């Protein structure tokens, strides 16, 4: 059975897609079988892993709303062990389209059931919103990974996210739990970043990952080349951070399996 992670934060620009892509890539480089699912209409995970949106025929939209088997949307990436379910702008109206459908919150979960046995890890990148698409991801997931940027108002809106996670746990997915909170965009030179780390750790305690992802130029450049950081610059601080985070995720899975 796959370990299914939702990478969620309704705020944009917090390193959510960067985290989803690079954790998935680092797991695959470590020899783990991984499926990365892009559930964001912006499709940044799709392009960030090197797929050409103009050449994609079947997407996560077709699986959630078109009745197509999810297997038809799976495409291999350039990284061995890493497959991708891509997204396109077709997904932009999905929240509205889902409203009138039966089992509207669990359509992704149903679609996943036919392929999840093929993978050790399923990483799902969410849109920066708490609409029905994100509810679908939280219903399909077992664990939640929350990236929080080390900037002013870092915890703004987090209470609403936690309420949404709790609502999904109570009504739709009793096994859902927050696995880790990941601090991103840390700048060692600023007192603000250090204050945010302290504030987040005070708030979330042991849920906060010991791995802090730094603000890193190479990490910012990698998506424009369609490469995860471990392929774009394996020796950069960003790559080191995501390798450590992926190793932590693997240990987390081993603890849950044991």
Tell the CATH topology of 3-257.
Rossmann fold (3.40.50)
Where would I find the beta strands (DSSP E) of 57-193? 75-76, 82-85, 121-126, 143-149, 177-186
- pLDDT score of 153: 85
- Give the domain ranges of the chain: 3-257
Q: Give the mean pLDDT of the chain.
A: 94
- pLDDT score of 155: 84
Residue 51 C-beta-side C-alpha neighbours within 13 Å: 29
Distance from the Cα of residue 175 to its chain's centroid: 18
Helix (H, G, I), strand (E, B) or coil at 60: helix
The Cα–Cα gap between 36 and 144 comes to 15
Distances (CA, A) of 77 to 28, 40, 85, 113, 182: 10, 18, 10, 21, 25
The Cα–Cα gap between 147 and 209 comes to 10
The Cα–Cα gap between 207 and 162 comes to 13
Going residue by residue through the chain (258 aa), what tens digit of pLDDT does each one get? 799 999 999 998 899 999 999 999 999 999 999 999 999 999 999 999 999 988 999 999 999 999 899 999 999 999 999 999 999 888 899 989 999 988 899 999 999 999 999 999 999 999 999 999 999 999 999 999 999 999 888 888 898 999 999 999 999 999 999 999 999 999 988 999 999 899 999 999 999 999 999 999 999 999 999 999 999 999 999 999 999 999 999 999 999 887
């Amino acid at each position: 059975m796959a370990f299914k992670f939702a990478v969620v934060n309704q705020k944009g620009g917090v390193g959510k897609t960067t985290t989803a892509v690079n954790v998935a890539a680092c797991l695959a480089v470590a020899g783990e079988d991984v499926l990365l699912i892009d559930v964001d209409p912006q499709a940044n995970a799709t392009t960030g892993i090197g797929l050409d949106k103009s050449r994609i025929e079947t997407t996560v939209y077709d699986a959630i709303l078109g009745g197509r088997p999810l297997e038809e949307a799976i495409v291999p990436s350039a990284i061995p062990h890493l497959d991708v379910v891509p997204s396109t702008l077709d997904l932009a109206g999905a929240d509205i389209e889902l409203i009138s459908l039966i089992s509207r919150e669990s359509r992704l979960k149903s679609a996943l059931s036919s392929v999840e046995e093929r993978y050790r890890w399923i990483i799902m990148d969410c849109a920066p919103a708490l609409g029905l698409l994100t509810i679908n991801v939280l219903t399909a997931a077992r664990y939640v990974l929350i990236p929080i940027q080390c900037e002013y108002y870092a915890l703004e809106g987090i209470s609403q996210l936690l309420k949404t996670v709790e609502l999904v746990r109570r009504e739709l997915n009793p096994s859902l739990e927050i696995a880790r909170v990941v601090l991103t965009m840390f700048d060692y030179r600023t007192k603000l970043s250090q204050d945010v780390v302290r504030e987040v750790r005070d708030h979330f305690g042991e849920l906060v990952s010991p791995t802090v992802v730094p603000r890193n130029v190479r990490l910012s450049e990698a998506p424009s080349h369609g490469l995860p950081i471990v392929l774009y610059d394996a020796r950069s601080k960003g790559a080191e951070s995501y390798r450590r985070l992926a190793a932590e995720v693997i240990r987390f899975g081993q603890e849950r399996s044991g």
